[in-house]
Chains A and B, each alone.
Chain A
Amino acid sequence: MTPAEIGATHAPGHAPHGDRAHAHAEEYQPVFTGAARAELDALLTRYPTRMAALLPALWIVQRERGWVSEGAMTEVAHVLELTPAYVKGVVTFYTMYHQHPVGRYFVQVCTTSPCGACGAEDVVRAFLEHTGTRELGVTSPDGKFTVIEVECLGACGFATPVMVNDEFHESVTADRVQDILSKLE
């Protein structure tokens, strides 16, 4: 990935999206109500401090909302008795938390050296073409797909591995891409 592409996927904290964050704050609906709240409360019993539950709490947010907005960071901070700045530091540290909305299917293609040698570039190109996203990190017009490149998915013996949300596909080649996509709603 080039730095520009990284920026498109995980814009730095100071990227000028303040207006949107602000607009979002006005209509913010809390995540931690009902079942999600109960889930978090159960989690909290497993950790010595509320702070320790930060990563799983953020996972709940991402599962419920698809991404972690600044409003959600504020809510998590409030619930876990942390500061929004601290939560933001954690969210931006981990690349697997989305700071922007992504497609319903989040496609991660491994392009590290062994996969690169086995044609990962072609796989990426096929995904960009068949999902209609055209660019890395961009969500398709129908809101269905986002495709990014990732570093090692730990399946070098089965290059090229691809993750679609939590589902793992091994030995993917460019001509299998359409088949994988056709099974998705």
Chain B
Amino acid sequence: MSEAKMITLTIEGRQVRVAEGTSILEAAKAAGVLVPHYCYHPGLPVAGVCRMCLVEVEKAPKLAPACATAVAEGQIVHVHSGKALEARKGVLEFLLINHPLDCPICDQAGECELQDYTFAEGRSEGRLIEPKRFNPVEDFGGDVLYVTNRCILCTRCVRFMDDVAQEPVLNVSERGDRAVIGKFEGQDLTHPWSGNVVDLCPVGALLSKDFLNKARAWELDRAASVCPNCTQGCNIMVETRDNMVVRLRPRSNEDVNKYFMCDYGRLNYRWMNRTDRLEAPLVRHGDRLAAAEWEVAIDAAARALEGKRIHAVVSPSLSNEALYLVARILGRGDGTGAFRVERGPEAPLPGVEDLALRADRAANVQGAEMLGFRRSDAPLAGLRGGDALLFVDADPSVLDVGDLERAGAVVVIGTALPEILRTADAVLPIANMVEEEGTFTNIRGRVQRFLQARAAPGMARPSWWVLGDLLARLGEPGSYFLASDVFAALAASRSEFSGLSYDSLGLRGLPVMAPAGAR
């Protein structure tokens, strides 16, 4: 492609230069012109079945489908000419013949391309007086519900299952006005990536059962994030309503997940909303823990750690920022840090290179290893008698009472306080990953930012803030005001991260400097 011939053409009066073989639709996108379309999707093979992307090409005898027509030198394309608009108005009228127009009860309303384009280019009134054909709603298995009547038969879902998931269980059944998306009896959408058909569906025909009737699209707040459920690091949008995460959706990133995310990651979000959270810093008073001011609690934590060798057990889903600060606390003495990773079966998406639900079900295994934490199934093995145990949001199932009795002091920094840790000397509540900002390093060493999507409960603070204050109280330069400041300090002190900043990472991320053995 590097020596691809370049073609110059004019779209809506704008000159644009694109590689030979590019479709008019993609060239228009490059020129900043949106050509309405349904069946076309950049992550799927071109079908050309919806006829919604018809545009006028000067000197061509008839309108051309922009998705399936390659650019030609000197071409002059009109997307919004009278002829093109009239044709698309006709296409919309046909698409709406059997569409129930049930937007008020449809989950897709507000993010529906049928709604959008009908509003932009369709008729304001229907002319159809015949009854509409009716088909029942069908359960496609997995997380997918098929509302047959709303379907415009763009076949995006069929092509996704055929060419990307490579488990062709969907088809177009019947024909003419009876045509529906069908599947073979007993073959459900059980592929671990099949939930993507819900995102791909441009209308309200394929819906997520999990999200069904939960919220209207316009009530949602969205934050760019990174999926924390495995080491792949799919770029996602965290969608919240009234401070509750209600849905995770993929956010496109050509270098990581294209347009997709797996069902495991998509549906594993309820922990983000858990309500049994630590809401106030706690300090030991004799045999009980009592709520305290942040300063008092940080002070108590620092006193518990001071003068002892520290062994940290961390969560492999902490941000680089938090892990970097823990590493600095450990680095004051000869402290050690370890983590355990939950594992599950790997599930690749065959149609996309190097994309899979990874076996390691934690976001930042790579980052934790790069920052000097040791991966172990027995992360408490490094805790020597009399050591201070710094337990940072790790899975409490790694603990037993013996470990805690052996420890000279116990400081918990976490989102929740499991029963076994009630003997701690100080407990500092932190935000979970959707309540704070930070970065993860994915399985391929790509550093990616995630933004805050909801407010942390009570007095809980971002992990980097708490750890920075603790570091400062221990006499080190700490006390950061912004997550980006912590990252800047990390980039300045670790060669793998040098040159990276929140600005340069943007929302798509960048690979770290090839560290030995990480690539």
| Segment 151-168 of B: residues with Cβ below 8 Å from A | 168
Please determine whether B168 and A21 come into contact, CB atoms closer than 8 angstroms. Answer: no
Q: Counting CB contacts under 8 A, is B184 at the interface?
A: yes
Identify the closest chain A residue to B136 (Cβ): A14
A13 to B170, CA, bound (A): 12
Please determine whether B136 and A88 come into contact, CB atoms closer than 8 angstroms. Answer: no
Q: Which residues of B contact A85 (CB under 8 A)?
A: 168-171, 182-184, 187
Instruction: Choose from A10, A22, A88 the contact partner of B182 (Cβ within 8 Å).
Output: A88
Q: Counting CB contacts under 8 A, is A47 at the interface?
A: no
Q: Counting CB contacts under 8 A, is A86 at the interface?
A: yes
A12 to B134, CA, bound (A): 11
Interface size on B, residues (CB 8 A): 21
| Segment 118-158 of B: residues with Cβ below 8 Å from A | 133, 135-136, 138, 148
The stretch that binds A, out of B172-180, B248-256, B262-270, B459-467, is B172-180
Instruction: Choose from B169, B173, B187 the contact partner of A12 (Cβ within 8 Å).
Output: B173
Q: Counting CB contacts under 8 A, is A89 at the interface?
A: yes
Q: Per-residue CB proximity of A16-49 to B under 8 Å, as 1/0?
A: 0010011000000000000000000000000000
A contact face: mostly helix, strand, loop, or mixed: helix
Q: Which residues of B contact A14 (CB under 8 A)?
A: 135-136, 138, 148, 173, 180, 182
Q: Which residues of A contact B173 (CB under 8 A)?
A: 12-14, 88-89, 92-93
Identify the closest chain A residue to B137 (Cβ): A14
Q: Which residues of B contact A18 (CB under 8 A)?
A: 185-186
A84 to B183, CA, bound (A): 9
Separation in Å of the A107 CB from the closest CB of chain B? 23
Identify the closest chain A residue to B167 (Cβ): A83
Q: Which of A74, A85, A88, A92 has the most CB of B within 10 A?
A: A85
A14 to B170, CA, bound (A): 12
Q: Counting CB contacts under 8 A, is A154 at the interface?
A: no
| Segment 304-337 of B: residues with Cβ below 8 Å from A | none
Q: Counting CB contacts under 8 A, is A149 at the interface?
A: no
Please determine whether A70 and B184 come into contact, CB atoms closer than 8 angstroms. Answer: yes
Q: Which residues of A contact B184 (CB under 8 A)?
A: 70, 73-74, 83-85, 88
Would you give 22 A-B contacts (Cβ < 8 Å), ordered by A? A12-B135, A12-B178, A13-B173, A13-B180, A14-B136, A21-B185, A22-B185, A70-B185, A83-B184, A84-B184, A85-B168, A85-B170, A85-B171, A85-B182, A85-B183, A85-B187, A86-B171, A89-B171, A89-B182, A92-B175, A92-B182, A93-B173
Q: What is the interface of chain A, defined by CB distance below 8 A to chain B?
A: 3, 6, 10, 12-14, 18, 21-22, 70, 73-74, 83-86, 88-89, 92-93
Q: A13-B182, A14-B180, A93-B175 are in contact. List 9 more A-B contacts (CB 8 A).
A: A12-B135, A12-B178, A83-B168, A86-B168, A86-B171, A88-B171, A89-B172, A89-B173, A92-B173
